[in-house]
Amino acid sequence: MRQLIILFLFLSSFSHAAETRPYKMGFSTWLYAPTGEAIMNTVKFLKEEGDMYTIKFDEVIPWRSLIDNQPLPAEFQKKIYDVAIHRLPDHKLQLCLTAVKDSFDGLLNDVDGSLPQETYSSTVIVDAYIKYCEKMIEVFRPDYVLTGMKSNELYLNNPNAWKAYEKFSKAVITKLKSRHRNILFGESINLNKLINPDKPLKETKHKRDIINFSRHFDFVPITFHPFMSAYSSPKEIQAAFDFLHKNIRKPIAIAETAQIAQSVQLKDITLVSNQEIQKSYINTLFKNAKKKRYLYISYWAYRDCDALVATLPPGIKESAMVIKDTGLVDEKGNHRPAFNSWKNEFNKAYRK
């Protein structure tokens, strides 16, 4: 009997050790506070608790310098190189770029706040953006490049610009793919906007057009924040993932995701959550990523950013309140239950 127990324990241990995951895991470089200490702590955490990570640039593009073939502004170059010095050499990198401003209705501003006279249909803009992407690829040496972020929001916010943007996107990705065979290219799709507010899910022109749009990608990166979605219960969240799996035929990656760990009171609504709801979402994410063999999962912010939000101007601060409690680590540095789920999954060996 004793020998049987020892054998059982040995086999159980071996089985656990053999568990693997088919996807990379990591976080974005979003800081929890505007301090040097926060930078170093974030770099350390990303290095130890993931095997990929995300860098995002979505504020400005030096359009005029690119169009005129002039050196990029010194301040802009300093900003990107200040980030690049922390490149983690043993980690896969998702580099997120965009030519669309955060209101999702037109071109991103230049460094001086001005807007180009040209539009997405202009070859001048296409060529300038390709140069920009090439520079960022040279500096950061990424493995995955998003040439657009949450692109379907432009479709919704400025339908008249969509056809031109679609051609712009294809031209940019086609050229970059021809030059960088070892990099995967795509644009993220905001799943919240793709499925809202339809319950139950039904086919719409928006869904058809965006799914067709994704066919020129190497893979389909998804942004999903269930607390901002009409699909917030465990059953509904799974329905959102099922919709993806039914309609997307290319490899899927989670480019950005998060779940709040406590309820948030906004002006017109209360977003209800707690630490167990956050943990449940993380486990659902892992289950789907394993079943459908996602390329990677990139979680938004590893730690609550109360200290950062406190420094923001009033208008921006109110908007940021919704994301400040999404960390797997709270503002005091304490691990939440969802972190334990993350750690257990990350400890499994990666097998493609």
Is the model's pLDDT at 15 over the cut of 60?
A: no
Look up the CATH number of the domain holding residue 293.
3.20.20.80
Does any domain span residue 350?
A: no
Determine the straight-line distance between the first and last CA of the chain, rounded to whole angstroms.
39
Rounded Cα distance between 226 and 38, Å, is 27
Rounded Cα distance between 108 and 105, Å, is 9
Does any domain span residue 13?
A: no
222 bridge partner residues:
189, 254
Rounded Cα distance between 148 and 109, Å, is 15
Does any domain span residue 194?
A: yes
Does any domain span residue 95?
A: yes
- Please tell me the least confidently modeled range out of 111-115, 174-178, 196-200: 196-200
Does any domain span residue 270?
A: no
State the chain's mean pLDDT as an integer.
93
Range of the domain at 103: 22-258+275-302
pLDDT of residue 69: 96
Rounded Cα distance between 132 and 75, Å, is 15
Rounded Cα distance between 257 and 239, Å, is 16
In this prediction, residues 278-296 reach a mean pLDDT of 98
**Tokens standing for residue 136:** 């960022």
Query: In the chain, how many H helices and how many E strands?
Result: 14, 13
pLDDT of residue 6: 53
Is the model's pLDDT at 10 over the cut of 80?
A: no
CB 83 within 8 A of CB 55: yes
The set of long-range contacts for 340-347, using a CB threshold of 8 Å and a minimum separation of 24, is 340/279, 341/279, 341/282, 341/283, 341/286, 342/25, 342/49, 342/282, 342/299, 343/49, 345/21, 345/25, 345/286, 346/21, 346/25, 346/49, 346/50, 346/51
In this prediction, residues 49-60 reach a mean pLDDT of 97
Rounded Cα distance between 161 and 284, Å, is 36
Rounded Cα distance between 50 and 219, Å, is 21
> 120-176: per-residue pLDDT in tens?
999 999 999 999 999 999 999 999 999 999 999 999 999 999 999 999 999 999 999
Domain count of the chain? 1
**What does the CA dihedral 337, 42, 333, 326 come to, rounded to 10 degrees?**
-50
Does any domain span residue 121?
A: yes
Is the model's pLDDT at 11 over the cut of 70?
A: no
Q: Please return the burial class of 23, using the count of CB atoms within 10 Å of its CB with bins 0-12, 13-18 and 19+.
A: buried
pLDDT of residue 314: 81
Angle of helix 275-291 relative to helix 234-247, nearest 10 degrees, comes to: 20
Is the model's pLDDT at 14 over the cut of 70?
A: no
Is the model's pLDDT at 231 over the cut of 90?
A: no
Is the model's pLDDT at 193 over the cut of 60?
A: yes
Does any domain span residue 221?
A: yes
pLDDT band at 3 (very low <50, low <70, confident <90, very high): low
In this prediction, residues 263-278 reach a mean pLDDT of 89
From residue 103, give the alpha-carbon distance in Å to each of 11, 78, 95, 188, 289: 55, 26, 21, 16, 30
Its pTM stands at 0.93
Per-residue DSSP letter, 54: E
Nearest by Cα to 146 from 295, 350, 260 = 295
pLDDT band at 200 (very low <50, low <70, confident <90, very high): confident
In this prediction, residues 201-212 reach a mean pLDDT of 90
The set of long-range contacts for 128-134, using a CB threshold of 8 Å and a minimum separation of 24, is 128/61, 128/63, 128/66, 128/67, 129/61, 129/66, 129/99, 129/168, 129/172, 130/172, 130/175, 130/176, 131/66, 132/61, 132/62, 132/66, 132/97, 133/97, 133/172, 133/176, 134/176, 134/179
Q: Please return the burial class of 44, using the count of CB atoms within 10 Å of its CB with bins 0-12, 13-18 and 19+.
A: exposed
Per-residue DSSP letter, 107: B
Rounded Cα distance between 135 and 112, Å, is 19
Within a 13 Å sphere around the CA of 116, how many CA atoms are in the beta-carbon half?
27
